[in-house]
Amino acid sequence: DDRKQLSAQILKIEDKCDALEKSLIKTSIEIRNVPKVKNESKAVLYTYLIKLFETLNLNLGHEHVRDMYRLPNKKENESSSIIMELSNTCFKSEVLEACKKTHLLKSLQLTAENL
């Protein structure tokens, strides 16, 4: 009887974790291969963000971003991914649409130099 209760509780917790992960994914964007900087801080990450928004001609600022952090990697690479959590899905769509337009125009290839 105790095992059944524990199993049910574990399933409930797993479902809650899945729901939380899905809600985070809805508003998150992964920016890959961003070079690392010594003593990197949130302020540095946010300057990358502002430069990216300027490059994409987006009228968004740091107030539209809930959080920004670098993903850890096993190897000591010179670059890794940064996750940008936006405040809502509309802003995520706006950023992705601007990236697609920039890519289609081929006037500008988005690279780490744009950060």
Domain that holds residue 103: 27-114
Q: What is the CATH number of the domain that holds 86?
A: 3.30.70.1820
Q: What is the pTM of this model?
A: 0.70
Q: In which band, very low, low, confident or very high, does the pLDDT at 35 lie, cut at 50, 70 and 90? A: confident
Q: With respect to residue 74, please indicate whether it lies within any of the assigned structural domains.
A: yes
What angle is formed at CA 89 by the lines to CA 12 and CA 109, rounded to 5 degrees? 125
Can you tell me the distance from the alpha carbon of 19 to that of 95, in angstroms, rounded to the nearest whole number? 24
pLDDT of residue 104: 66
On the question of pLDDT at 107 being above 70, the answer is: no
36 lies in some domain: yes
Whether residue 12 is contained in a domain is answered as: no
Tell whether 14 is covered by a domain.
Answer: no
The model's pLDDT over 70-87, given as tens digits with 9 standing for 90+, comes to 988 777 778 888 999 998
Specify the pLDDT at position 10.
95
How many structural domains comprise the chain?
A: 1
Is residue 11 in some structural domain?
no
In angstroms, the CA 13 to CA 38 distance is 38
